[in-house]
Amino acid sequence: MRRVEVAIIGSGPAGLAAAKPLLDAGAKVLMIDRSDMLGGQLTKQTHMFFGSEKQHASKRGIDILKLMVDEIQYHENLTVLTETTVVGLYQDRVISCVKHDEYFKIQADYILVASGASEKSLPFENNDLPGVYAAGAVQTLMNVYGVKPGERVLMIGSGNIGLIVSYQLMQAGVEVPMLLEAADTIGGYLVHASKIRRLGVDIRTNMSVKRAIGKASVEAAEIWRLDKHWQGIPGTEEIVPCDTICLSVGLAPLTELLQQAGADIKYVRELGGNVPIINKKYQTSLENVYTCGDVAGIEEASSAMISGEIAGLEIARSAGYKIDNIDQHISRLHDDLTNLRNGPHGEKIRIGLEKVGVK
Amino acid sequence: MRINKHPILDFPERKKVSFTFNGKKLFGYEGDTIASALHAQGIKHLSDSIHKKRPRGFYCAIGNCASCNMIVDGVPNVRTCITPLKEGVDVRKQDGKGRF
Do residue A218 and residue A157 come from a single domain? yes
List average pLDDT for each run of 10 residues in chain A, which is 359 residues long.
96 98 98 95 90 79 94 96 97 96 96 97 97 97 96 97 97 97 95 96 98 97 96 98 98 97 97 96 97 96 96 98 97 95 90 87
Domain count, chain B: 1
Give the CATH number of the domain where residue A323 resides. 3.50.50.60
Do residue A84 and residue A160 come from a single domain? no
Angle (nearest 5°) at CA A196 between A119 and A60: 65
Residue of chain B whose alpha carbon sits nearest to that of A99:
B83
- Determine contact, residues A145/B6, Cβ cutoff 8 Å: no
Do residue A211 and residue A309 come from a single domain? no
Do residue A138 and residue A217 come from a single domain? yes
* Residues B90, B88: Cα–Cα separation, whole Å: 6
Residue of chain A whose alpha carbon sits nearest to that of B46:
A130
Contacts of A119 in chain B (CB under 8 A): 59-60
Residue of chain A whose alpha carbon sits nearest to that of B2:
A147
Q: Which residues constitute the domain of residue B37?
A: 16-85
Q: What's CA A20's distance to the chain center, in Å?
A: 20
Q: What is the nearest CA distance from B64 to chain A, expressed in angstroms?
A: 7
Chain A interface includes B69 (CB < 8 A) = no
Domain contains B59? yes
Domain end residue (candidates: A247, A273, A289): A247
Q: What contacts B29, CB < 8 A, 6 or more positions away? A: B14, B15, B16, B17, B37, B85
Contacts of B9 in chain A (CB under 8 A): 46, 143, 146
- DSSP labels, A282-350: -B-SSTTEEE-GGGGS---HHHHHHHHHHHHHHHHHHTT---TTHHHHHHHHHHHHHHHT-SGGGHHHH
- Determine contact, residues A237/A315, Cβ cutoff 8 Å: no
Q: What is the pLDDT of residue B48?
A: 95
What is the CB neighbour count within 10 angstroms for residue B20? 13
Q: Does the beta-carbon distance from A137 to B5 stay under 8 Å?
A: no
Residues 27-66 of B with CB under 8 A from A: 31-33, 36, 39-40, 44-46, 49, 54-65
Q: What is the pLDDT of residue A348?
A: 92
Q: What is the nearest CA distance from A172 to chain B, expressed in angstroms?
A: 6
- Determine contact, residues B25/B17, Cβ cutoff 8 Å: no
Chain B interface includes A171 (CB < 8 A) = yes
User: Buried (b) or exposed (e) across A32-57, using 16+ Cβ within 10 A?
Assistant: bbbbebbbbbbbbbbbebebbeebbe
Give the CATH number of the domain where residue B39 resides. 3.10.20
Secondary structure element (H or E) that encloses residue A30, with its range: strand A29-32
Residue of chain B whose alpha carbon sits nearest to that of A248:
B60
Do residue A313 and residue A217 come from a single domain? no
Q: What is the pLDDT of residue B99?
A: 83
* Residues A7, A15: Cα–Cα separation, whole Å: 10
What is the CB neighbour count within 10 angstroms for residue B30? 12
Do residue A335 and residue A349 come from a single domain? yes
* Residues A311, A6: Cα–Cα separation, whole Å: 12
Residue of chain B whose alpha carbon sits nearest to that of A253:
B64
Of B3, B45, B57, the CB nearest to A172: B3
Domain end residue (candidates: A220, A247, A274): A247
Q: What is the pLDDT of residue B23?
A: 97
Domain contains B45? yes
Q: Does the beta-carbon distance from B3 to A46 stay under 8 Å?
A: no
Do residue A235 and residue A292 come from a single domain? no
Do residue A112 and residue A130 come from a single domain? no
Q: What is the nearest CA distance from A83 to chain B, expressed in angstroms?
A: 8
Secondary structure of chain B in HEC code, one letter for each residue: CECCCCCCCCCCCCCEEEEEECCEEEEEECCCEHHHHHHHCCCCCCEECCCCCCEECCCCCCCCCCCCEEEECCEEEEECCCCECCCCCEEECEECCCCC
Secondary structure of A107-175 in HEC code, one letter for each residue: EEEEEEECCCEEECCCCCECCCCCCEEEHHHHHHHHHCCCECCCCEEEEECCCHHHHHHHHHHHHCCCE
Do residue A88 and residue A34 come from a single domain? yes
Q: What is the pLDDT of residue A359?
A: 59
Q: Does the beta-carbon distance from B7 to A121 stay under 8 Å?
A: no
Q: Which residues constitute the domain of residue A262?
A: 2-118+251-356
Q: What contacts B43, CB < 8 A, 6 or more positions away? A: B21
Domain contains B4? no
Domain contains B95? no
0.90 exceeded by the pTM?
yes
Contacts of B33 in chain A (CB under 8 A): 145
Q: What's CA A355's distance to the chain center, in Å?
A: 21
Sign of CA dihedral A214, A218, A224, A230: positive
Do residue A188 and residue A139 come from a single domain? yes
* Residues A66, A71: Cα–Cα separation, whole Å: 9
Q: Are strands A102-113 and A289-291 parallel, antiparallel or unpaired?
A: parallel
Do residue A114 and residue A263 come from a single domain? yes
Does the interface ipTM go beyond 0.90? yes
Domain end residue (candidates: A187, A221, A247): A247
- Determine contact, residues B70/B46, Cβ cutoff 8 Å: yes
SS3 A40: helix
Do residue A259 and residue A321 come from a single domain? yes
What is the DSSP secondary structure assignment for residue A216, as one 8-state letter?
S
Domain count, chain A: 2
* Residues B73, A203: Cα–Cα separation, whole Å: 45
